Structure 1
Amino acid sequence: MSDPTGAPAPPARSRRGLRRLASQAVEDAQLAHPRTVLVSLGLLCALILGGALIPVPYVIEQPGPAIDVLGEYRDEQIVQIDGVETYPTDGSLMMTTVSVDGGPGYVVTPVDVVVSWFDRSRAVMPRELMFPPDQTREQATLDNAVQMSTSQQGAVAVALEELGIEYEPVVMIAGVQQGAPADGHLEPGDVLLEIDGETAADLPGFQALVRGAEEGRALPITVRRDDQEVALEVPTEIVDGTPRLGVVLSEGYDFPMDVEIAVGDIGGPSAGMIFSLSVYDELTPGALTGGRAIAGTGTISPDGTVGSIGGIRQKMVGARDADAEFFLAPRDNCDQVLGYEPDGLEVVAVGSFDEALRATETIAATGGVDGLPTCEDQ
């Protein structure tokens, strides 16, 4: 007998042996297959899980709290003015904030990014657009604190300028780097009076006095702190061949009254306009808002210009969630505002403190925004 190919057929005993071998092979495969599948699935899950937890170079912006600057934050009155008559007020002037995930020292994963893509209240962007590549968590914290401090100083100055109240320029300590030579000696808010027995008329002058210090020698520094002169011996260190104290100096102002703005560890410059309005409100009779809930954002420059900020969409959502009725937005942010205004929130475009003040007064008087510029007008 031959098979269809013409090859001789194997003997019967050989055929029985082949059947046994084939049967054993099938049984072995049936036993091995589930183990292979389980191992493969385990490896796949491990790869997926590991990939999901790998940090990625992105940051995620999402709405932060909207805080009424006329009220309290963490059981402390936010705006405190002493040494001059102030007036009771009503309504709300809310500073708006953005929570940022993925900054220096913090991790964002692919899962975080994917989830944020499907949430209109969040924004995903490359980390390098917001933070220098080598910036540490401590440096980012210091930068935010310095921006907040200088923003508050400028905001008070703009409000007093509007009211015709005079003040004097000074050079101040805006921030102290953690672990730096000046840490524990100088404090944010100290006003520089003398360095090594000499004074200066401006910021570059005081910076030159620090650079002229002898290597390894502590600098005698006199500051004004809490209305008292304080004499200190502050160590220095050499960085890139130049003596450093480890502080950030900035231009500030000597006001004829004590103004404190306390917002905890919130940083950045974007509350400047709202701070200016709140100080103006406290120093003038009546409620500037007319009892309305008004939120807003925008930097403030010494000439009163309201500047653009980041995270405007998230800030509008935060304002709406805090029951704000109206929102003052920097005119230069209008391209990010259009089409993203939350329902129930009236947005007014402003480009200066005078425009923000006029908008607030109009809202107080009319309860609406008729006649005020919107982003659609820009």
Structure 2
Amino acid sequence: MPRRTATMLASTLMLIALLCAGVLIPVPYSEMSPGPTVNTLGEHGGEPVLQISGRESYPATGHLNMTTVRVTGADYRMNLFEAVYGWLSHDDAVVPHSTLYPDGQTAEQATQENAEEFSQSQESAKVAALRVLDVPVSERVVVASVVKGSPAQGTLHAGDVIKEVDGEPVEEPSEVAEIVTRHQPGERVLFTVLPAKAAQAAEKARRPEPATRETLSITTKKAPDDDRAIVGIQAGTDHTFPFKIDIKLADVGGPSAGLMFALGIVDKLTPGAMTGGSFVAGTGTIDEKGKVGPIGGIQMKTVGAREKGAEYFLTPEDNCATAARDIPRGLTLVKVRTIDDAVKSLEDIRKGDTAAVPKCTTD
């Protein structure tokens, strides 16, 4: 065989081998890309995203779109060609698999975590929105979860309202742990609770909490990582709203829609259009006091929003520098730290005073 022919054959075989390797060999990366955007003021799946009953609400026009990121699944194994294509793509991002699924998280675990975060973000959005409108929201300390196999299992249940611990009234979840840890492992702690079923029945019927209380004794045990006394519960905060607010949005998870849900609720509970007809999208977690927190995949979200027609994008302050490095043409990034910032910026946009709107920069 002539040397030139042999060289070409060897090169061809090498190329084929490399192509096969690129297709067959998995790499430890995942891909993020722009996901759907949903108008919180509109409908999704044939029904309104925000449904309010028991209080006057107003027709809401315009756009306050929440944004999402589409990611490859926890079980998906990207090959080398896909990774290279993603690295070269302007609108996609390739990140280490562990960034999206830490500690070997399974698809089921990721789905469950996202669902829990989404549910909590809805609760926080409702509280933040009503506080903007000066609508009172009552709080109570509850058993958020009970650890399997713990001293509290079978005695306390998720949703039980904790009124007192060792006879001391509790108003914050942190106070529960503080009182329990005064004990030595093996000592008893007394919990005075309103059972979850009674509390939920009263709330559903919009009746005051019943006076019935149960006092339960639980023997503490030693924490697995130190000498603290524990009973094996996670205390949390539950809220009672003066009217019903439902957020209907399937197939979405995580906490990043909190800000846009809160703004949508404010818009529906006040006359007039908050956006003044502008197409506004955005993202950001929100806590019960209205503080806006950062999210992941910010550049994917700005791209997705602009593709849908957004003119303004409400951006958490901590995401601003990253988002401002590559702003889609025609999109203005509005910096927000709190829901009050967002409401004020929407007011300026509605009035046409865009110079007063704080913008994101790379600084």
Asked whether the equivalents of residues 22 and 81 of structure 2 are also in contact (C-alpha less than 8 Å), the reply is: no
| SS state at 1:66 partner | strand
Structure-2 separation of matches of 1:206 and 1:287:
43
Provide closer, same or farther for how the CA distance between residues 174 and 347 of structure 1 changes in structure 2, counting only shifts above 3 A: farther
Q: 1:125 aligns with which of 95, 99, 104?
A: 95
Q: Which of these residues, 269, 273, 278, is aligned with residue 287 of structure 1? A: 273
Q: Does 1:376 align with 2:347?
A: no
Instruction: Report if aligned partners of 1:170, 1:192 keep a CA contact under 8 Å in 2.
Output: no
Alpha-carbon distance in structure 2 between the residues aligned to 1:269 and 1:173: 21
Aligned to 2:160: 192
Deviation at 1:203, TM superposition (A): 4.3
Confirm or deny: 8 A CA contact 2:143 2:161 kept in the other structure: no
Q: What are the Cα deviations for residues 169-194 of structure 1, in whole angstroms up to 9, with x where unaligned?
A: 245687999xxxxxxxxx9xx84347
Q: Whose Rg is larger?
A: 1
Q: 2-side partners of 1:45 and 1:173: how far apart?
A: 60
1:269 to partner: Cα distance: 1.1
Aligned to 2:283: 297
2:144–2:159 Cα contact (<8 Å) kept: no
1:41-99 per-position Cα deviation (integer Å, ceiling 9, x unaligned): 3x863663244233321121110111101111122211111111111111010001111
C-alpha distance 170-51 of structure 1, shift in aligned 2 (>3 A): farther
Partner of 1:140: 110
Cα distance per residue 1:199-230 (max 9 Å; x no partner): 97654688999x99xxxxxxx9633557449x
Residues 122, 252 of structure 1: CA spacing in aligned structure 2 closer, same or farther, 3 A cutoff? farther
What residue identity is the alignment partner of 1:370? A
Please give the TM-score of this superposition, normalised by the length of structure 1: 0.72
Corresponding letter in the other structure for 1:317: V
Cα deviations by residue, 1:127-165 (Å, 9 ceiling, x for unpaired): 223322221111111111111111111111111111111
Pairwise CA distance, 1:278: 0.7
Percent identity for Structure 1 against Structure 2? 38
C-alpha RMSD of the superposition: 4.0
Q: Does 1:318 align with 2:293?
A: no
2:85 is aligned to 115
The two structures have a TM-score, normalised by structure 2, of 0.74
Residues 161 and 294 (structure 1), Cα distance of their counterparts in 2 relative to 1, 3 Å cut: same
CA distance in 1, matches of 2:325, 2:362: 14
Note the 1:1-378 alignment, pairs <5 A.
41=13, 45=16, 48-102=19-73, 104-170=74-140, 191-193=159-161, 203=173, 222-223=196-197, 224-225=199-200, 227-228=203-204, 250-366=236-352, 369-376=354-361
Change (3 A) 1:171 1:264: farther
In structure 1, the gaps of 5 or more residues are: 1-28, 178-186, 213-219, 230-239
Number of the residue aligned with 1:183? none
Match of 1:25 in 2: none
Gaps of 5+ in 2: 148-156, 187-193, 210-223
Q: Distance in 1 between matches of 2:45 and 2:236?
A: 28
State the number of aligned residues: 320
